[in-house]
Structure 1
């Protein structure tokens, strides 16, 4: 008997590619497997078409009954289809509204975050400004000898570090021109915080240059030529500043 049932099942699978019955449909409905009504409609229709396929004699009672029930089912479906379409449209509208609401909430959250971040940055800039003023007030005056060493150190910088040193000067002096052919650097005109920033920067830059000079080849003619040009520029600027100071009348 078991062998007969097994063979029957094999024959059924060969004829009916996707079995379906009302009990399975009910279980899937209870388990919320179906995403929409159209999927239920497709499975109900599959029950009838499977019965017609398995009983392919169109004059047999089962075939005739399955076809009749399918026709009545299709008539009922046509009566319900407009309600299904309306429900689908409402679902789309609700999903679109929910998406719009979610996007609006996200945009509002991003805008709030941007405002909060901007306020925090403004507060930070305010504190940095106060701290900067405090640092300026606490900086001791740089001696004449320290200024002389600083000028010499700037003149010894390679082009890369020299441009960075000029940027430090320009940050505190908006009118400072570092792109002209002749740069006028007046060490005495710089405020104390600029002088100390330059001192620390030049010290580290010269140390890096000393380390790099050990590993780099000595025959880099172009780089050496650039260094000499930039050094001459600095020397000329320092000399010009010195001449200006020497022409000032003594008090």
Structure 2
């Protein structure tokens, strides 16, 4: 069978070159649009792929994100979003209160102690000729440094009370590490450390409570972020579906325009097309007849026998049929001559849509030749 590509009419109206140019421009625009949609689609697929993997590894997230809880969680998320700044400000205020209480603890029980003076300023390594000090002490610390960080307003200060507590302990542990147990500085540091730990235990329940509260709020914030991303990507997926529908409709419109501007099919081409149609299987033949019915509401495609007047069909219908059989044969890897079918007599053809049954009836009606018998010697 000859090529199926429908060349444009050799004689075009004056406006047709403009039409072809517009089609080419539309095709380029669609290619650009498809590339953009593909990138966005990949982003959505990658996001939900990662999300599903995380949910499978986290039972809590999996249970929270069940479909029946989505609306409830989303509503709660929106409420939390609205007062997120308020919650953050409240958490900051609570931490500042704890810092003030901790600083008060230091002033009342440590800074006022008679033995605290050696620990208020950095160790005078040069003046005391402590040549090995930095070899033994990895991170020097003193209370003037701690106080400066507590009072810092430029973001370089402590983020929470536990950081301050760690530096207070470091002051005393450095002294105990560098000085022998019988040394006065070691004894003073050990005594002050024990006193600090005693007072720290009084404040620790409030610190633990705030830590737990902070963890819950951070977990909620993380969940909110995940949910917000899911909502955004779900919306992106819906938008993609809408835009893909628009692209599909544009392609269909362009296809119709191309078909309407195809050249007229020759008589030989129509006969070749009818030959292939009658060679189709009943299932594929029904599909071909439905193509005819789409452009011809009066055409009955569901009967046992169908009269198809090929000359009465529009050019767009003929080319659609030609495209259909071309794609079908390419998918099946068959040539027209390799498929059995009915015999064509005219272009106004009676097609039996149950070809296999008809073949069987014809074969059974034909006389069978006598079987040869071998003569006995």
TM class by shorter chain equals: 0.5 to 0.7
Could you tell me which runs of 5 or more consecutive residues in structure 2 were left unpaired when the two chains were aligned: 1-124, 277-283, 292-307, 351-377
- CA distance in 2 between counterparts of 1:173 and 1:61 reads 106
312, 317, 332: which one pairs with 1:191? 317
Once the two structures are TM-superposed, the CA of residue 88 in structure 1 deviates from its matched residue by 1.0
- CA distance in 2 between counterparts of 1:106 and 1:233 reads 56
189, 192, 204: which one pairs with 1:81? 204
| Residues 139, 192 of structure 1: 8 Å contact kept | no
Once the two structures are TM-superposed, the CA of residue 61 in structure 1 deviates from its matched residue by 3.3
Cα deviations across residues 111-133 of structure 1 (Å, max 9, x unaligned)? Answer: 22122222222333334344444
Cα deviations across residues 74-112 of structure 1 (Å, max 9, x unaligned)? Answer: 012111111111111121122112122222221221122
- CA distance in 2 between counterparts of 1:94 and 1:245 reads 79
Task: Give the equivalent residue in structure 1 for 2:236.
Answer: 113
| Residues 25, 43 of structure 1: 8 Å contact kept | yes
When normalised by structure 1's length, the TM-score is 0.58
Once the two structures are TM-superposed, the CA of residue 70 in structure 1 deviates from its matched residue by 0.7
- CA distance in 2 between counterparts of 1:71 and 1:92 reads 30
**Which gives a bigger RCO, structure 1 or 2 (Cα 8 Å, sep 6+)?**
2
Once the two structures are TM-superposed, the CA of residue 199 in structure 1 deviates from its matched residue by 10
Whether 1:99 aligns to 2:222 is yes
Could you tell me which runs of 5 or more consecutive residues in structure 1 were left unpaired when the two chains were aligned: 155-167, 176-185, 206-226
Whether 1:123 aligns to 2:246 is yes
When normalised by structure 2's length, the TM-score is 0.41
| Residues 149, 158 of structure 2: 8 Å contact kept | yes
The correspondence of residues 1-251 of structure 1 with structure 2, limited to 5 A, is 5=126, 8-29=129-150, 30=152, 31-32=155-156, 34-58=158-182, 60-147=183-270, 191-194=317-320, 197=323, 230=335, 232-234=337-339, 236-237=340-341, 240-242=342-344
- CA distance in 2 between counterparts of 1:245 and 1:172 reads 16
Q: Indicate the SS of the match to 2:141.
A: coil
- CA distance in 1 between counterparts of 2:247 and 2:200 reads 68
Q: Indicate the SS of the match to 1:114.
A: helix
Higher percent of residues as helix: 1
Task: Give the equivalent residue in structure 2 for 1:157.
Answer: none
| Alpha-carbon RMSD | 4.4
Q: 1:39 to 1:169 in 2, by over 3 A?
A: farther
Q: Report the number of matched residues.
A: 194
Once the two structures are TM-superposed, the CA of residue 141 in structure 1 deviates from its matched residue by 3.3
> Which contiguous aligned blocks of 4+ residues in structure 1 show a shift greater than 4 angstroms?
147-152, 168-175, 198-201, 229-232, 243-248
Once the two structures are TM-superposed, the CA of residue 22 in structure 1 deviates from its matched residue by 2.1
Cα deviations across residues 191-243 of structure 1 (Å, max 9, x unaligned)? Answer: 32325647998xxx9xxxxxxxxxxxxxxxxxxxxx9x857514x45xx4436
